[in-house]
Amino acid sequence: MAQSFEFLFDVAGPNAYLTHRVLPKFCAETGAAAVYVPILLGAVFKATGNRAPMVRYADAPARRDYEMLEFRRFIAANGLVQFKMNPHFPVNSLLVMRAVVAAGRMGLGAEAIEAMMAAMWEQGAKLDEPDICRAALEGAGLDGAAIMALAGEEGVKAELVANTDAAVARGVFGVPTFFVGGDMFWGKERLPQLAGALAA
């Protein structure tokens, strides 16, 4: 049984949020730990020519509608009743993801990720605004001012860029993406395949 897997994510991706919510059960069932790797989804899209489904299938409404049907089915199947589409979507996640990296450097990565995921996809916060981002951190009991200050430092910015560049180099084109060793799995629908790889 593999002991861990990488979970490449961006808070701005609704499917990353849904995955984040089901990972505790998944990890309990597989006995594996999720290693969260923050990346910048917008930069990944730009580098790979990918686009969000609602944009990618704009000229294929039947495909777009089916994607949304599957999205709603996943939410219902997993009882993710707190999810609501962010009214400001798409939100530029540069600030949020820098804050996540900064919090990780302070040993508060898990807490910051939870705070940002909840703020984005349960509270409808416009997290590209610094004051709102800081308030979301503080609402979770974190030192929002300290995290936001560190998020502006060059080392944090460089770490997020390096994570993103490395992801693209490994073939990542969207989130959620998982790695077991060098094997890549994309999409929350691939969790059963991921479980199989972890058990192999």
59 — pLDDT class (breaks 50, 70, 90): confident
Other C-beta atoms lying within 10 Å of the C-beta of residue 139 = 14
pLDDT score for 63: 87
Alpha-carbon distance of 162 to 178, in angstroms, equals: 17
Q: For the chain, what's the residue count?
A: 200
pLDDT score for 2: 56
pLDDT score for 16: 98
Provide mean pLDDT across the span 38-62. 86
Q: Is residue 171's pLDDT more than 80?
A: yes
- ∠ at Cα 175 (170, 180), nearest 5°? 50
55 — pLDDT class (breaks 50, 70, 90): confident
Tell me the one-letter amino acid at 149: A
Backbone phi, psi, residue 9, to 5°: -145, 160
Structural contact between residues 63 and 34, judged by C-beta atoms closer than 8 angstroms: no
Helix (H), strand (E) at residue 94 = helix 94-105
Alpha-carbon distance of 8 to 81, in angstroms, equals: 24
Under DSSP, the state recorded for 183 is: E
Residue 24: cis peptide before it, omega within 30 degrees of 0: no
pLDDT score for 140: 97
The tens digit of pLDDT for each residue in 100-148 reads 999 999 999 999 999 999 999 999 999 999 999 999 999 999 999 999 9
Alpha-carbon distance of 69 to 76, in angstroms, equals: 11
